[in-house]
Amino acid sequence: SFTKVPLLVLLVMAFAVVALLGISSVIWSTLTSTDHSPKFYAIQVLNEFPHDPNSFTQGLLYAGNDTIFESTGLYGQSSVRRVALHSGEVEVLQEMDSSYFGEGLTLLGERLFQVTWLTKTGFIYDRNNLSKIETFTHQMRDGWGLATDGKVLFGSDGTSMLYQLDPQTLKVIAKHIVKYENLEVHYLNELEFVNGEVWANVWPTDCIARISHKDGTVVGWILLENLRKGLIAAGQTDIDVLNGIAWDSNDNRIFVTGKLWPKLYEIKLQPVR
């Protein structure tokens, strides 16, 4: 009849409009969305360098000019050392009192800051000769990792907390619980400030968390199991975990090693998702 035809046409038109709106909103959100979910990265080895297989690496940094500074742990074997990147040769060695277990290390200006496992005691050394300048006490549970952006010190103590310390007073000025989505990431270990982020070895895994120091959010995961597994496959069965990240801010190079690893690697990240 006369009234039925326009009704059917109206229904078809209404359906078409709804469908078009739906499709265009999907297209619009695809074009404008930003994906904030953490990114995952595999790694590629660009270079490998010799590393003292007796160094129980707990702190690692690159100071320019082929120079690595490293802190080592284990009671009676703890040290701070200056190492030539290319040869792995230990050029200056400062052995620590056997009551201390060396941990995180960072360089700010002319001074190296070091923390120690299970104590709140830290040490400051002169970068030129590694002589001890100062002993300090900090407010973290104990000492695991240290890094710096050139202004504050970042610290970890094996919990899920990422601390910011004032380099003058060594007092905690900020702290954030590190979270991957809504899960706390515990056992934050060796640290490095890289391109505006804080990277952390997560003990005792093959993973490095890329952390926003503004709020503790994990913005990415780096998966490095091929390094440890490669060493073991090559017969290096006495090695301990991946630990130690160093960043060359001038040439944007990333170095990693591990405790008792005979090698130190320059790596490049490859997004896997």
Binding to ligand DDQ (CB under 6 A) within 159-218 occurs at 189, 203
Assess 192 for contact with Ca ion (CB under 5 A). yes
Assess 119 for contact with ligand DDQ (CB under 6 A). no
Q: Which of 106, 125, 103 is closest to 259 using CA atoms?
A: 103
* Order of all β-strands in the sheet with 161-165: 145-148, 153-156, 161-165, 172-177
- AA identity, residue 261: W
Assess 197 for contact with Ca ion (CB under 5 A). no
Report helix, strand or coil for 15: helix
Assess 60 for contact with Ca ion (CB under 5 A). yes
- Closer Cβ to Ca ion, 18 or 241, answer by number: 241
Backbone φ, ψ for residue 25 (5° rounding): -70, -35
Q: Which of 192, 182, 103, 161 is closest to 201 using CA atoms?
A: 192
- Closer Cβ to ligand DDQ, 126 or 206, answer by number: 206
Q: Of Ca ion, ligand DDQ, none, which one sits near residue 266, judging by CB under 5 to 8 A according to partner kind?
A: none
Q: Which of the 8 DSSP states describes residue 61?
A: E
Q: Of Ca ion, ligand DDQ, none, which one sits near residue 189, judging by CB under 5 to 8 A according to partner kind?
A: ligand DDQ
CA 206 to chain centre: 12
Position among 144, 163, 199, 255 found at the interface with ligand DDQ (CB under 6 A): 144
Binding to Ca ion (CB under 5 A) within 201-260 occurs at 245
Report helix, strand or coil for 31: helix
Write the burial class of residue 113 (CB in 10 Å: 0-12 exposed, 13-18 middle, 19+ buried): buried
- Closer Cβ to Ca ion, 12 or 157, answer by number: 157
Binding to ligand DDQ (CB under 6 A) within 2-61 occurs at 58
Given the rule CB under 6 A, which residues bind ligand DDQ? 58, 75, 103, 117, 144, 158, 189, 203
Binding site for Ca ion (CB under 5 A): 60-61, 192, 245
